Amino acid sequence: MKTLRDFNFKNKKALIRVDFNVPLDENFQVTDATRIEAAKPTIDAILSQGGSVILMSHLGRPKGIQEKYSLKHIVNTVSAILGVTVEFVADCVGEAAQKAASNLQPGTVLLLENLRFHPEEEAGDLAFAKALASLGDIYVNDAFGTAHRAHASTTIIAQFFANQKCFGTLLAKEIESLNRVLKNSQKPVTAILGGSKVSSKITVIENILDKVDHIIIGGGMTFTFVKALGGKIGNSICEDDKQELALEILQLAKEKGVQIHLPVDVVAADSFSNDAKTQIVAANQIPDGWQGLDVGPESLVIFEKVLLESKTILWNGPLGVFEMDAFAKGTIALGNSIAKATQNGAFSLVGGGDSVAAVKQFNLEDKMSYVSTGGGAMLEMLEGKTLPGIAAILDN
């Protein structure tokens, strides 16, 4: 696996695929700069060696050229985070981009315009990838969030760099962290899978059954399992067509010696609202007209015991509707249990949009071993898929 350490960037132009797909408010101000901050170590390392940096990214899902998706809006934020004045060019290929790239001096940074202003980017167009490639000497992929897409700038471009390509610091860390869970884990290994649907996590469960000792199931998908086992779930969310599958998963886990922990109690509500009436009931005895929106206190005691005995922990998906204060307690308590296990020496990896949002919201980010930057990409790696953006760097 080639990383920055394998190259000398002095007087070289590093063409870096970053993931600067950041949220902007109505005044085009960046509201969360996490992704820009995550790319800083890679950029700093190259600049410190006397190299120059050309940054390419997408922003949003533009239909053609749309001013509101221009990367010019983030130039000041990127400059402030990097501590250098970032130059901007209003295209990513063509004469203006070529000129800006060729005039780049060592120690300077150039940000290209939104890649997705060109439909060729998402189409994985070869000529477009070649035009991008002509701007730099060494290709660095540091965008884990897009590594599962075979786009021009994430995958196709790599073939124009033969041995002059590598992973950036962030992407290398993502791969190492996931491998630490999937391939080189210390046992016991516990995976926490939340979210609303079993269907979105089936392949993950199937792929990790050989690698884990415990699976804690939370969130809405709990009720598909509970109903399949004959429980009463009231008005709780449920995928009726996945009940048989839920039973198959439980059986397969049993055969492989993996313990699956379902909530034993839940916080039930009489409506999907922060102001709903609530009661704590057994997870398989939810009254009609009520729905489970968080795990209950008894379940949390059981889950914490499992986590404190674990050496490797993967968290993907919240335990309840944490966006509502009334139903956030389970997710917060779980996060605190993982933090405690991490403090005791366990390796904890958090990934997936909602889990990452939860650890940030409840100030737990610094208490985890690693918080992944890629939702879809991480899920696909957990499913055992080879991501095209990663394969392109490994393929010489």
Residue 320 falls in the annotated catalytic set: no
Q: Which of 107, 231, 376, 384 is catalytic?
A: 376
Does 292 carry a binding-site annotation? yes
Whether 345 is catalytic: no
Q: Confirm whether residue 13 is marked as ligand binding.
A: no
35 is catalytic: yes
Q: Is 323 annotated as contributing to ligand binding?
A: yes
270 marked among binding-site residues = no
Contact 54, 136 (CB under 8 A): yes
**Do residues 126 and 159 make contact, with C-beta atoms less than 8 angstroms apart?**
no
The backbone torsions φ and ψ at residue 384, rounded to the nearest 5 degrees and listed phi first, read 90, 10
- In the chain, DSSP assigns E strands to 13-17, 52-56, 86-89, 109-112, 138-141, 165-167, 189-193, 214-217, 232-233, 259-261, 265-269, 278-282, 285-286, 291-295, 312-316, 347-350, 370-371
Q: Is 102 annotated as a binding residue?
A: no
CB atoms within 10 A of CB 99: 10
Query: Would you say 60 is a known binding-site residue?
Result: yes
d(CA 218, CA 47): 45
219 is in an annotated binding site: no
Active-site residue 12, yes or no?
no
- Determine if residue 136 is labeled as part of a ligand binding site: no
- DSSP label at residue 231: -
Check whether 180 is labelled as a binding-site residue.
no
Residue 355 assigned as binding residue = yes
The answer to the question of whether 59 is labelled as a binding residue is yes
Marked catalytic residue, from 311, 353, 360, 384: 353
Cα distance between residue 244 and residue 269, in whole Å? 27
Query: Is 107 known as a binding-site position?
Result: no
Annotated catalytic residue: which of 40, 72, 197, 232? 197
β-sheet bridge partners, residue 215: 191, 260
Q: Which helix (H) or strand (E) holds 337?
A: helix 329-343
Question: What number of helices (H) and strands (E) belong to the chain?
Answer: 14, 17
* Catalytically annotated residue among 17, 35, 165, 329: 35
- Is 145 marked as a binding-site residue? no
In the annotated binding site for (2R)-3-phosphoglycerate, the residues are 35, 116, 149
Give the residue numbers of the binding site for substrate: 19-21, 35, 58-61, 116, 149
Binding residues: 19-21, 35, 58-61, 116, 149, 201, 292, 323, 352-355
Residues forming the active site: 35, 197, 353, 376
Q: Which segments are annotated as binding site for ATP?
A: 201, 292, 323, 352-355
